[in-house]
Amino acid sequence: MGTEHKPQDDGYYDDVLLDHNYDGIQEYDNPMPGWWTGIFVLTVVWAGVYVVGINTGAIPTYWDDLSSAQEDLDKVRAAHERTRPKIEITDASLLAMVKDEARLTEGKEVYARVCAACHGDVGQGLIGPNLTDDFWIHGGKPTQILHTVKVGVTEKGMPAWEAMLSEGEQVSVVAFVGSLHGTKPANAKEPQGERYVPDATPTAPDGDAPKGDAPEGAPTDPANPE
């Protein structure tokens, strides 16, 4: 080994080569900087403190942080829900929304974004069924349509939109689908499912009967029952 290496009067060290050689590589016999040594010592000490703390509960774990963050998120959601007016979900209220221009505007935007690719831009049906006729695979009541939107039909490729759309967006798109009934678009897909004809109840809040064709055999003109 080299001789004892001491600093000069000015605090600096002479460049002294150590007497070992690794594949032609040599190194100077210079000590590590004090700041580097201090950080290394602190790291070793902190590692010991961390191991003890994480195993005794003094330091929160990842799962503790995750649980705390979820609680905070739930509180924010609850506070947000309290500030929003509650949406009444009934067949009558959903039928009434078909006349609500704000709902229809929002529903049209949502429909174009998430529904049109399968059901067509005007509800004529593509991969998914026609939404403009009287026939429904999973029920034609407004609340049944809303349920289908929420839970989807995964075996047929329709995702559950409940987690991806707000409640307002869900009811708005159902209102927009309701507005498509009877529009008879070009190239409409053939009927699928069972024919749904709204009965006398429920009715919309203003007393109007739900939109839909009259049952087969019923008079279509009150003035001419023939």
Band of pLDDT at residue 4, cut at 50, 70 and 90: low
Residues contacting 203, CB < 8 A, separation 6+: 92, 95, 209, 210
Q: Give the tokens for residue 92.
A: 């009558």
CATH superfamily, with its number, for domain 91-195: Cytochrome c-like domain (1.10.760.10)
Band of pLDDT at residue 111, cut at 50, 70 and 90: very high
The residue type found at 188 is A
Average pLDDT over residues 182-192: 95
Rounded to an integer, what distance in angstroms lies between the CA atom of residue 71 and that of residue 132? 44
Do residues 108 and 178 touch, judged by C-beta distance below 8 A? no
Q: Give the tokens for residue 146.
A: 């809303």
- Distance, first Cα to last Cα, the chain: 120
Rounded to an integer, what distance in angstroms lies between the CA atom of residue 127 and that of residue 180? 18
Greater model confidence, 169 or 197: 169
User: pTM, whole model, 2 decimals?
Assistant: 0.55
Angle (CA) 167 170 171, round 5°: 90
Q: Is it the case that residue 102 has pLDDT exceeding 90?
A: yes
The residue type found at 197 is V
Top-ranked range on mean pLDDT: pick from 7-16, 71-80, 171-180: 171-180
Q: Give the tokens for residue 209.
A: 């009967």
Band of pLDDT at residue 12, cut at 50, 70 and 90: low
Q: What is the pLDDT of residue 224?
A: 45
Rounded to an integer, what distance in angstroms lies between the CA atom of residue 77 and that of residue 94? 25
Q: What is the pLDDT of residue 23?
A: 85
Domain residue spans of the chain: 13-84, 91-195
- The pLDDT > 90 percentage for the chain reads 59
DSSP structural state of residue 46: H
CA torsion, points 63, 67, 70, 76, in degrees to nearest 10? -140
Q: Any alpha helices (H) in 100-201, and if so which ranges?
A: 101-114, 116-119, 142-151, 167-179
